[in-house]
A and B are shown apart, each in its own frame.
Chain A
Amino acid sequence: QKEVEQDPGPLSVPEGAIVSLNCTYSNSAFQYFMWYRQYSRKGPELLMYTYSSGNKEDGRFTAQVDKSSKYISLFIRDSQPSDSATYLCAMKLTGGGNKLTFGTGTQLKVEL
């Protein structure tokens, strides 16, 4: 079993829809959570970073963390075709661990 599970998709939604992307994890020592966006053949781009349970909002993006359920989500409001990309969740241990552990990524396509 992988430490971080993420549905690979693909997920196809119409323009303007609300998108929900999710990851589950098994290691309760993960305390820092990130979402990256990756366009084809490009490097990952940091979208959201959070370390506490609850919601964090940035523009059209909301990151949600539920540590008791070991579940994190990224919501995208008013989705645009330019949001079409692969979305990667990533996590980091507390206590000095430096590596990020990634999910496999969810491929999202926003259609006109």
Chain B
Amino acid sequence: DTGVSQNPRHKITKRGQNVTFRCDPISEHNRLYWYRQTLGQGPEFLTYFQNEAQLEKSRLLSDRFSAERPKGSFSTLEIQRTEQGDSAMYLCASSLTGDEQFFGPGTRLTVL
């Protein structure tokens, strides 16, 4: 399967801890996106990379959040000093043209 993959699939952490998620996009997709989805809501945009450059960030992405895509392939999303409000599904998507975006299975974060 050559779709978008995300790891881990589930993460349970205590408030105040740091967590890091990884996304591997579809091969040759140079555009990569992070979204966050809470229960009963649609995904909300967090940030966008074209190759290794982070080109767009949502105001939802507070100072505790940082995303990287160091070699223009996989990406990581780190949340520092987690809060209970960070509990959500974190989705990664990739695209070749910027039009159709293909999503991974998501990482479900629970902050206790």
CB pair B102–A99 under 8 Å, yes or no, is no
Beyond A42-B106, A43-B91, A44-B103, is A102–B58 a contact (Cβ under 8 Å)? no
Beyond A43-B106, A44-B91, A46-B101, is A99–B56 a contact (Cβ under 8 Å)? yes
How does the 8 Å CB contact mask read for A6-47 relative to B, with 1 for contact and 0 for none? 101000000000000000000000001010100001111110
Count CB-based A-B contacts (< 8 Å).
62
Question: Is residue A82 contacting chain B, with contact meaning CB distance below 8 A?
Answer: no
Give the size of the chain A interface in residues (CB under 8 angstroms): 25
CB pair B101–A102 under 8 Å, yes or no, is no
In the complex, given contacts A43-B6, A43-B106, what are 14 additional A-B residue pairs having Cβ atoms less than 8 angstroms apart? A43-B4, A43-B103, A43-B105, A44-B43, A46-B102, A46-B103, A49-B100, A92-B99, A99-B33, A100-B33, A100-B43, A100-B93, A101-B45, A104-B42
